[in-house]
Structure 1
Amino acid sequence: MTSKHALFDISGKVALVTGGTRGIGLMIAKGLVQAGVKTYVVSRKAEACAEAEAELKQYGEAVGIAADLSSAEQANAFAEAFLQREPQLHILVNNAGATWGARFGEFPESGWDKIMDINLKSLFFLTQTLGPALQAAGTDQDPARVINIGSIDGLTSPGYGNYSYSASKAAVHHLTRHLAAHLARANINVNAIAPGPFETKMTEFMLKEHAEQIIQTIPRRRTGQASDVAGTAIFLASAASAYITGTVIPLDGGYSTTR
Structure 2
Amino acid sequence: MADKNIFDLTGKTALVTGGSRGLGLQMAEALGSYGAKVVLSARKADELEQAQSHLQKLGIEADWVAADGSKDADIAGLADAALEKLGHVDILVNNAGASWGAPAEDYPAEAWDKVFNLNIRGLFLLTQQIGKRSMIPRKYGRILNIASIAGLRGNPPGAMQTIAYNTSKGALVNFTRTLAGEWGKYGITVNALAPGFFPSKMSQVLIKTLGEEMLIGNSPLQRLGDDEDLKGATLLFASDAGKHITGQILAVDGGYSAV
Distance (Å, rounded) in 2 between the aligned partners of 1:16 and 1:86: 9
Cα offset, 1:87, TM superposition: 3.1
Give a deviation string over 1:44-87, Cα, whole Å, max 9, x none. 01111111111111121011211112110111012112222333
Partner amino acid, structure 2, of 1:156: R
Give a deviation string over 1:210-241, Cα, whole Å, max 9, x none. 21001000101101122210111011111111
Partner amino acid, structure 2, of 1:241: G
Distance (Å, rounded) in 2 between the aligned partners of 1:133 and 1:88: 6
Unaligned runs of 5+ in 1: none
Aligned to 2:73, what secondary structure does the other structure show? Answer: helix
Kept after mapping to 1: 8 A contact 2:65/2:82:
no
Distance (Å, rounded) in 2 between the aligned partners of 1:79 and 1:104: 35
Cα gap change, 1:230/1:136 in structure 2, threshold over 3 Å: closer, same or farther? farther
Cα offset, 1:191, TM superposition: 0.2
Aligned to 2:134, what secondary structure does the other structure show? Answer: helix
Partner amino acid, structure 1, of 2:9: I
Q: Which moved more, 1:27-36 or 1:79-88?
A: 79-88
Percent identity among equivalent residues?
39
Asked if 1:250 corresponds to 2:251, the answer is: yes
Kept after mapping to 2: 8 A contact 1:33/1:61:
yes
Cα offset, 1:2, TM superposition: 5.0
Kept after mapping to 1: 8 A contact 2:92/2:144:
yes
The residue aligned with 2:177 is 177
Distance (Å, rounded) in 1 between the aligned partners of 2:149 and 2:109: 23
Aligned to 1:92, what secondary structure does the other structure show? Answer: strand
Kept after mapping to 1: 8 A contact 2:148/2:193:
yes
Q: TM-score, length-normalised on structure 2?
A: 0.94
Q: TM-score, length-normalised on structure 1?
A: 0.94
The residue aligned with 2:151 is 154
The residue aligned with 1:236 is 237
Distance (Å, rounded) in 2 between the aligned partners of 1:104 and 1:180: 32
Aligned runs of 1:9-24 on 2, under 5 Å?
A: 9-24=8-23
Distance (Å, rounded) in 1 between the aligned partners of 2:135 and 2:49: 26
Distance (Å, rounded) in 2 between the aligned partners of 1:183 and 1:66: 28
Kept after mapping to 1: 8 A contact 2:7/2:34:
no
Distance (Å, rounded) in 2 between the aligned partners of 1:250 and 1:98: 19
Give a deviation string over 1:176-203, Cα, whole Å, max 9, x none. 0000000011111000000000011111
Cα offset, 1:104, TM superposition: 2.3
Aligned to 1:6, what secondary structure does the other structure show? Answer: coil
Cα gap change, 1:58/1:39 in structure 2, threshold over 3 Å: closer, same or farther? same
Aligned to 1:219, what secondary structure does the other structure show? Answer: coil
Asked if 1:121 corresponds to 2:121, the answer is: yes
Aligned runs of 1:30-179 on 2, under 5 Å?
A: 30-59=29-58, 60-131=60-131, 132-138=133-139, 143-158=140-155, 159-179=159-179
RMSD in angstroms over aligned alpha carbons? 1.3
Aligned to 1:201, what secondary structure does the other structure show? Answer: coil
Give a deviation string over 1:83-141, Cα, whole Å, max 9, x none. 22333211100000010001222210011010011001111110000113123454xxx
Aligned to 2:5, what secondary structure does the other structure show? Answer: helix
The residue aligned with 1:205 is 205
Kept after mapping to 2: 8 A contact 1:8/1:240:
yes
Q: Which moved more, 1:174-183 or 1:151-160?
A: 151-160
Partner amino acid, structure 2, of 1:70: S
Distance (Å, rounded) in 2 between the aligned partners of 1:40 and 1:87: 11
Asked if 1:193 corresponds to 2:193, the answer is: yes
Distance (Å, rounded) in 1 between the aligned partners of 2:47 and 2:6: 33
Partner amino acid, structure 1, of 2:109: E
